[in-house]
Amino acid sequence: MAALPRLVCASSVVLVVWAGFCSAVCVEVPSETEAVQGTHMKLLCISCMKREEVTASTVVEWFYRPEGGKDEPIYEYRKRNHEFPSRFSGRLQWNGSKDMQDVSITVLNVTLNDSGIYTCNITREFEFEIHRPLFTSSRLIHLTVVEEAGEDFTSVISEIMMYILLVFLTLWLLIEMIYCYRKVSKAEEAAQENATDYLAIPSENKENCAVPVEE
């Protein structure tokens, strides 16, 4: 009988782990905040649904606020896409996913006047049998548009490290060449000295230098 509770406990752990692996993975990633003039900029807005097993209707609202201005609606998703008349007319593209966890939009042909604060509001209404609770979340994106792409700090550091490595390898190779040259030169000098000493020995001494052969 004591083994039964242990078996139930182990089964529960296995079920929890299995459910964790089988549940959909959703990671809330922040959007990029710098765009280059004339390119397309994706305003990333991800809101993970906490109750994947429950049906929910989602409403997405996008707002834009210029420097020192007020929020103005630019895009809305309410069962269908709707673009509001604004400076972005004809330049907004829906990039949301089917499960409505990714509700991003893309601004086409970004201009310098597109710099500002973008707000992504998500409202979910869960469809339970007894009640229909509402959950809301919001994301702010401070976008800066530049004329030309600046060098990435990581790439600059990589280039500097590459040049330092090349200089180090060049110096190391030069030192190795000098060391090998001096070593070869000393070996040649030693061989030349031995040859000179041998030639300086008289003929009779050379015969005496021969190793006697034992019979």
Q: What is the mean pLDDT of each run of 10 residues along the chain (215 residues)?
A: 40 36 61 91 87 77 93 93 93 91 94 95 85 87 87 70 88 90 84 72 56 51
Q: Is residue 52 one of the residues assigned to a domain?
A: yes
16 CB-contact burial (10 Å; exposed 0-12 / middle 13-18 / buried 19+): exposed
Q: What is the pLDDT of residue 182?
A: 87
DSSP state of 71: -
Q: What is the pLDDT of residue 76?
A: 96
Q: Which residues share a beta bridge with 83?
A: 75
- The answer to whether 41 and 101 have CB atoms below 8 angstroms apart is no
User: b/e map of 17-36 (b: 16 or more CB within 10 Å)?
Assistant: eeeeeeeeebeeeebeeebe
Q: Is residue 132 one of the residues assigned to a domain?
A: yes
Q: Is residue 32 one of the residues assigned to a domain?
A: yes
Q: Is residue 171 one of the residues assigned to a domain?
A: no
Distance CA 32, CA 118 (A): 12
Q: Is residue 201 one of the residues assigned to a domain?
A: no
Q: What is the CATH number of the domain that holds 79?
A: 2.60.40.10
Q: Is residue 118 one of the residues assigned to a domain?
A: yes
Q: What is the pLDDT of residue 2?
A: 41
29, two tokens? 């990633």
- Look up the pTM and report it: 0.57
Q: Where are the alpha helices (DSSP H) in the chain?
A: 3-22, 153-200, 203-208
Q: What is the pLDDT of residue 150?
A: 64
Q: Is residue 47 one of the residues assigned to a domain?
A: yes
User: Can you tell me whether residue 41 is helix, strand or coil?
Assistant: strand
Domain residues for the domain of 108 are 27-151
163 CB-contact burial (10 Å; exposed 0-12 / middle 13-18 / buried 19+): exposed
214 CB-contact burial (10 Å; exposed 0-12 / middle 13-18 / buried 19+): exposed
The residue written with tokens 């993970």 in the block is 48
Nearest to 97 by CA among 169, 163, 44, 148: 44
